Amino acid sequence: MDELILKHLAGESSDIEARRLEAWRASDPDHERLFRELQAVWDVTGPDGAPHERGGDHAPNATAGPPDLRLVLEEAERRRTRRGRRRLIRSPWAGWSLAAAAVVALVWVTGGGRTDAPSGPALTSVESTRGVADEVTMGLNDGSVLRLAAASTVEFPPDPDRRRVVLEGRAFFAVAESDRPFVVESGEGEVTVTGTRFEVRSGSGGMRVVVVEGEVTLSGPRGAVVLRSGQVGHLPRGERPRAVEEADVWGLLDWPGGLLLFQDTPLERVAEELGWHFRQAFVVDSALADRRVTAWFGDEELDEVVASVCLVAGARCLLEDDTVRVGR
Q: 259 to each of 47, 169, 201, 247, 250, how far by Cα in Å?
A: 41, 17, 15, 18, 9
Q: Give pLDDT tens digits for 250-287.
A: 888 888 878 888 888 889 999 998 998 888 899 999 99
Quick check: do 113-252 and 265-327 share a fold?
no
Beta-ladder partners of 219 = 190, 224
Q: Report, at the CATH architecture level, how domain 113-252 is classified.
A: Sandwich (2.60)
Instruction: Tell me which fold the domain 265-327 belongs to.
Output: Phage tail protein beta-alpha-beta fold (3.55.50)
Q: Give pLDDT tens digits for 33-89.
A: 777 777 766 665 544 444 444 344 434 444 444 455 556 556 555 554 444 333 322
Residue 248's region, left for phi above 0, alpha for psi from -120 to 50, else beta, is beta
Strands 182-185 and 163-174, by their bridges, are parallel
Domain ranges in the chain?
2-90, 113-252, 265-327
Least confident of 75-89, 123-137, 168-182, 253-267: 75-89
Query: Is the pTM of the predicted complex or chain greater than 0.85?
Result: no
Closest to 105 in 3D by CA, of 157, 158, 146: 146
